Structures are given as structure tokens and as C-alpha cells.
Amino acid sequence: MADFRAILKAVPPERPDTSGERLYERFRAEPDTLTIPILDAEDRPVGLIERNAFFLRMAAEYGRALYARRPISCLMDASPLMVEATSPVDRFIGETLSSRPSDLLRGFIIVDQGRYLGVATALELLQLSNDSNLRTLDALKNSADQLSKAIAEAQDARNFMSTVVENIPAMVFVKRGDDQSYLLLNKAGEDILGFARDEIIGKTAHDLFPADHAQAYASDDDYVLSSGEMRITEDERLVRKDGKPVILRTKKIAVTDGSRRRYLLGISEDITDRKHAEARITHLAHYDALTDLPNRVLFKKALQTALARSDRTQEGVAVLCIDLDHFKTVNDTLGHPVGDALLQAVAQRLNGCVRETDAVARLGGDEFAVVQSGPDLPAGAGLLAARLVEAIAKPFDILGHQVVIGASVGIAVAPTDSGDSDALLKMADMALYRVKSEGRSGFHFFEQAMDALLQARRALELDLRRAVAAGEFELHYQPLMDLQDDRVVACEALLRWRHPERGLVSPAEFIHLAEEIGLIVPMGEWVLQQACREAALWPDAISVAVNISPVQFRSRQLVASVVQALAASGLPASRLELEITESVLLENNAGNLALLHQLRALGVRISMDDFGTGYSSLSYLRSFPFDKIKIDQSFVRDLPDQKDAMAIIRAVTSIGASLGMTTTAEGVETQAQLDELRRQGCDQIQGYLISRPMGSAGISALLGVPVVAIQQGPPIASVAPRPKKTAAVSAVRGKARSAG
């Protein structure tokens, strides 16, 4: 038998630091390349990469992202099968079949004294064995005196070839050249096709497979036999005996006997798993993994297709951006498994609201979108938006929990608003923002004025971030008066922004934005520290009240922030009041109640602010022993003329007295209001009648504190890093832990 030089292919090698992306593109450009050797700087083989295994890795979930930019040294077979070119072929195959049979299929490297010459696979070995048979038969014809030796060699060659074929871990088959009936099938072929050999041998593709498949196989075989060319089919579809489809990568060659092409030899790899993996990753690239809705990439394609069709048909196109209201609350209170199941249920409802010609997509998080086309726009878009809002508002039964959320929808219509896909998405998002700013759970069409508002909001955000870094904030204080002895007992700290151009800016203009963009946490920490620092210089009988945002509760840093502020200032915990609104308990009742109890254990007083503006205030009074109830100014404003307002205030003061809670009325501006509040039993008042909010110097003068003693604290940007633990901090924390 000839040596390995007769069958090697001098495939250009790669280096270990070649990127996975480069190799991916090379395999795609060279469909006949089955294996690529990896050589070091001295051209010595250090690895081998086989086509099918490589594509399986790249096609797996996140495979392309993981390996595209990494060196192929992390993907290669670092112990490739290698053979010296002068080695006896039969001995090599015998040893390999017993120790590394699958490497014959993957391929092996042929070297000359350790240096690379080329690569080969099992198919080339089969060709070599066939050529050896033919040479032996020629010897039989030409040398009668060597008959005995030739017969023995021929038998050895046939046995050798049978061993090779049977042990190759890929389907090997041989067909007759005249009628294309099967002559040979190995064990791997039985496993792939689901037929036993005796069911295959002597049969043709028409006897075994569906007619359309059989005709395709026969046409392919005819081409190979008539042309004599090797043919590689990358995606050959075949049906097993049990009816299951299988995908093969098949390489076929014609085996000649002189001038006749007597046989067709083929070797097929089962690449079904690889193809399924490729299909899966293609699907993941365009569909959301959780809801199986189109993702942002496919949504933009659908939108661009709809806009192109609109240019021809003159039909309108609407983009509806949908955001789920209170979804974060569901995630925080019930957990992410419930949140994920809710998103899947939302996707089903959204699909149930649209026509087959519309496209629903999940853009990310709790954001969805719809592309709607038709002649009935924009009216049809409004009707669809109303259906979407109504559908999402209905309760969901998720993993044993009844969940109620809402949906806000923003709409932009082409060509009225724009004919550009990116612009339409931006406009629909602006309309969505308008809905959320107006209370959520509704829909709104885009209006040109929204763009100006959005630009103003962006400018305010940039200004706010600059102001935080520059330390442009200060505290003003408004006194609270006790009605029993008409004296100031506390002051509420109110944040003000001293803008270099606009002057003093009210918190109503920037607090909501600060909450949205995450600045409220460092701002809130600064307010706590500054208020405690200044209140520590006031008379001992005067407390300071600080408003706490629901966002500060979500950050889970609140207890530590209070501990640090008290320890750094030396203010007794009993002189600090924290004011919260009902939304704190609405967002995460159990978790936030636990935080309130930790704060209460420090000795801090807790007040319910804006009492009466929510829908479950009384239940909150039962769930936590508040120290104070602050009656919202909307009830005080109508005193003493409105009897219903008086009845509500009378009820609140009565409840507060029975529960041992102080009642404070906000927004008192007239003597008549004050007199009525006294009659109704209110404990404290706050409002312009007593004093407008004033800066540190003003409140110091009111309380008799020397102005020179008040010092401005550090800027907000320096609040975030935690100071080292002091003895005072440790003592307060220890108190909280022992009480909790």
C-alpha cells in the first residue's frame, strides 16, 4: 500500500492566535475544507479544528459572542492525530481504529519529521484502499507466477478496507454505478438511517425514501457518476425509517474501473444537532428568549418593511410603544419568576389584541411595541391602544398570585409624524412619556410640542447632574407649631436648588426627575446629613423633619444613611423625624415595613405625610405605629367653609388621638383655618400663617441660634463614599440590630 503522501491535502494552516471570527469566515468561504491544522511559529502542528465541531460551538447559544474575538487555541483539539508520511498505512489505521476511531472521521495531520505536510480524512483512506485493490488485481493479471501472493494481498486489502469502513464513526455507503442500488453500508449508516443492512443492500433510494427525496438523491448520484467530479452536499435532508428527519453533510465520489465509473462511494456526517443549534441561534438573534416575540432587531425590520409598503399603497403605519405600569413592584415584591411569567402572559394578551398583519415585539424589560398598518389610521391606532390598555388592566393569575398592573401607550403615525423608522419610535416614546407623566394607564398620540418638552427635560437633567457635582443645593426650613402652648416644636427640612442663572428653584421642578434618573439617593443622603448637622445646633426641644423618597427605600441604604447622619452630627435620634408617603408601603409593603421598624428601633420618629391622598391610609395606620399623621393641605384649604373637609379632619384627629399619634395640619394660611383646626382637636399646624420656609440664617434667628454657628456641609457628590465606622456609629447600629 502507498504511503500517506499519496492522499494528503496541503490545506493552508492557521496560527493559534487567529480569531474565531476569521476562522468562521474561512470555513464559510471554503465549503470543501473539512479540517484546518494549527501550527506554531516553527510550523509544527499544535492543534486541529474540524469543521463540524467548530460550527457546533459557534452556533450554540452565545457561541458567536463568546468565541468570535477569542483565539482559536481555545477551540482547537490540542492533541490532534498525527502520522509521519512514511508510516505504513495499514498499521496506522489498525492502531487508530482500536484507540482513536473518531479521529479518522475528524481528520489527521501528516508530517515529515514533525513538520507539517498536509491533512487527510477517512474518505482519502478509503480511496487509497481502493487504489491498492486495483493495483493488486493488475499484478494478478500481469504476473501469473505471483498468483498466490497477489491473491493473499488482495484478500488482506479487502479485509483491511472492511475494517476501516465498519469502524468509521460516519455513514459510509457504496452504490452500483448502473442502477444506483446499495452494495455496502457500515454500522454508523444503520444508526443514521434507522434501517438494518439487509433492508438496504440491493435497494435503491426509490425503494427506501419518499419519492421527492429519492428523486433528489438519484439526480445527485447521476451527476457524480456522469461527471466524475467529487460532490459535497452541505444540507442533505433525509427521512429515517421511523419517519424522523435527519440532516447530513455528504461527500460523494465515483470509483472507476479503467474508463468505467462502476461505483459511487459516499461518506455522510449527521449534522442534525448542528443545524438545529444554528437555527436556534438565528431565532434568538431575532426573537425574545422569554416571550418568543420578535425583538427590537426584527421589530425594526418589520417597521421598515411596513413603511416601504406604505410608500406603494399609501396606507398609514402606526407605531405603538407600550410600557407596563408597576411592573417593577411585582418583581420586587413577588420575585423574578413571577415577573417573568407575567411578561409571558402580557405577550399573549397583546397578541390577542392585534390582527395577523400587525407585529408585536418585546423591546426589552417591560417595554413592548406594535406595528400597525391599514387605511383606518390614525383612528384605528387609537382603538387598538384602548384595547391594549383595557386588556392589560384585567387581573392576571400568575403562579398562584393575582397581579394587577396597567399599560401606558404612546402612538406615532406615518407619514403624518414622520416616514423614518427611528424617528417614529422616538416620537412614540415621547408620547408614552407624556402618558406616564399624566398618571399612566392610558394612551396618547405624538404631538410636535412633545419634542420641545423632551429637549427641555434633557437640558434639565444635564443641569441637575452639574448642580449635584457643583454643590448648588441648600436647605430651607418651615416651622411646625404646637397648638397646645403655641410654640415651635419642629422644623421641616425642604431642599432648594440655587441655580446660577434661574435663582432659587422649587423642588417641584426637579425632585421627580431626580427620582427617575437615580440622583435622589445621594441627594437624600446629603439632606439627611445637612439637616442633622444644623438641627444639632438648635435648642434641644426642637426636632427636624426630613422627607424620604420611595426610591431611597428601594436602594436599601436608608438605615445606614440615617445611622451615619446621626453619628456624624451628634443629633439624638429622638429629634429626627422621617416623613414618608403612602406610596412607600404601596410599593413593597412587607420589605418597607421591616425597614420602618429598623428605623423606629434607632429611636427615630416616623410620620405619615400627605395623609388621606391615597386609597388605603387606614390600613397603613394599623400596619405600623406611626408617631405622627400629617393631614394633606388639600383638606385644610377648604376650611372652614366645606363641611366634608371638616368631617374628614375631625375623623383623622379622632383616629390619631385614639392611636396615640400626633396630628399635624399642612398648608395653614388663614386665622379661620387655624381656629377651626383648634376646635377639631388638631395637635400641630404648619403653613404660611406661621412662617414661610426660610434658609439656615433665618431659622437660626427664629430659634435664637447664632448664625455664625451654622456651617454648610460637604457637596452632594462627596456623600456617597461611606466614612469609617466610629464608636458612635457602632453603638447606633448595635441598637438597631438588638431591637430588630
pLDDT at 708: 47
Q: Would you say residue 218 has pLDDT above 80?
A: yes
Q: Would residue 474 be called left, alpha or beta, if left means φ above 0 and alpha means ψ between -120 and 50 degrees?
A: beta
Tell me: domain 4-128, CATH 3.30.70.1280, correct?
Answer: no
Residue 655 banded pLDDT, cuts 50, 70, 90? confident
- What are the cell numbers at 335? 420575585
pLDDT digits (tens, 9 = 90+) for 402-427: 999 999 999 999 998 888 999 999 99
Q: Would you say residue 245 has pLDDT above 60?
A: yes
- Pair 153, 252: CB distance under 8 Å: no
pLDDT at 145: 46
Residue 285 banded pLDDT, cuts 50, 70, 90? confident
- Pair 80, 109: CB distance under 8 Å: yes
Q: How far are the Cα atoms of 323, 526, 649 from residue 411, in angstroms, in the given order?
A: 12, 40, 43
Residue 168 banded pLDDT, cuts 50, 70, 90? confident
Q: Supply the DSSP symbol for 501.
A: T
What are the E-state strand segments in 447-575?
473-482, 487-499, 503-505, 543-547
Any bridge partners for residue 491, and if so which? 479, 544
SS3 80: coil
- Pair 548, 493: CB distance under 8 Å: no
- Pair 687, 481: CB distance under 8 Å: no
pLDDT digits (tens, 9 = 90+) for 498-556: 988 888 888 888 888 888 888 899 999 999 999 999 999 999 999 999 999 888 887 77
- Pair 704, 684: CB distance under 8 Å: no
Lowest mean pLDDT among 102-116, 180-194, 289-303, 330-344: 102-116
Q: How far are the Cα atoms of 16, 192, 448, 594 from residue 171, in angstroms, in the given order?
A: 31, 7, 67, 66
pLDDT digits (tens, 9 = 90+) for 17-58: 999 889 888 988 888 788 899 999 888 999 999 887 787 777
Residue 586 banded pLDDT, cuts 50, 70, 90? low
Any bridge partners for residue 316, and if so which? 374
pTM of the model: 0.50
Return the higher-pLDDT residue of 157 and 728. 157
Question: CA-to-CA distance for 166 and 399, rounded, in angstroms?
Answer: 54
Lowest mean pLDDT among 135-149, 298-312, 512-526, 545-559: 135-149
pLDDT at 97: 58
pLDDT at 349: 95
pLDDT digits (tens, 9 = 90+) for 597-628: 899 999 999 998 877 665 445 666 777 888 99
pLDDT at 130: 58
Third-level CATH fold of 475-739: TIM Barrel (3.20.20)
Task: Give me the amino acid identity at 654.
Answer: S
Return the higher-pLDDT residue of 278 and 162. 278
pLDDT at 433: 86
Residue 588 banded pLDDT, cuts 50, 70, 90? low
Interacting residues of 354 by C-beta distance below 8 A, sequence separation 6+ = 360, 370, 372, 384
Segments making up each domain of the chain, as ranges: 4-128, 170-276, 287-446, 475-739
SS3 173: strand
Phi, psi at 508, each rounded to 5° = -60, -25
Cα atoms in the 13 Å half-sphere on the side-chain side of 61: 3
pLDDT at 279: 80
Instruction: Tally Cβ neighbours within 10 Å of residue 62.
Output: 9
Mean local confidence (pLDDT), 590-603: 86
Residue 716 banded pLDDT, cuts 50, 70, 90? low
Q: Would you say residue 290 has pLDDT above 70?
A: yes
Residue 282 banded pLDDT, cuts 50, 70, 90? confident
pLDDT at 4: 79
- What are the cell numbers at 2? 502507498
Q: Would you say residue 289 has pLDDT above 60?
A: yes
Any bridge partners for residue 397, and if so which? 402
Percent residues over pLDDT 70 in the chain: 83
Instruction: Specify the CATH class of 170-276 in words.
Output: alpha beta
Return the higher-pLDDT residue of 305 and 142. 305
Residue 258 banded pLDDT, cuts 50, 70, 90? low
pLDDT at 706: 73
Q: Would you say residue 722 has pLDDT above 50?
A: no
SS3 161: helix
Third-level CATH fold of 287-446: Alpha-Beta Plaits (3.30.70)
Cα atoms in the 13 Å half-sphere on the side-chain side of 215: 2
The C-alpha R_g of the chain, in whole angstroms, comes to: 40
Strands 543-547 and 605-611, bridge-based pairing: unpaired
Q: Please, what is the average pLDDT of the chain?
A: 83
Residue 193 banded pLDDT, cuts 50, 70, 90? very high
Phi, psi at 155, each rounded to 5° = -65, -40
Mean local confidence (pLDDT), 149-167: 62
Q: Is 737 exposed, middle or buried (0-12, 13-18, 19+ CB in 10 A)?
A: exposed
The owner of cell 425509517 is 241
Q: Is 453 exposed, middle or buried (0-12, 13-18, 19+ CB in 10 A)?
A: middle
Using CA atoms of 30, 36, 38, 39 in order, give the dihedral in degrees to the nearest 10: -80
Q: Would you say residue 738 has pLDDT above 50?
A: no
Any bridge partners for residue 352, and if so which? none
pLDDT at 144: 45
Which residue in 475, 479, 566, 559 sits closest to 523, CA to CA? 475
The owner of cell 440664617 is 697
Mean local confidence (pLDDT), 313-342: 90
Question: CA-to-CA distance for 595 and 34, rounded, in angstroms?
Answer: 63
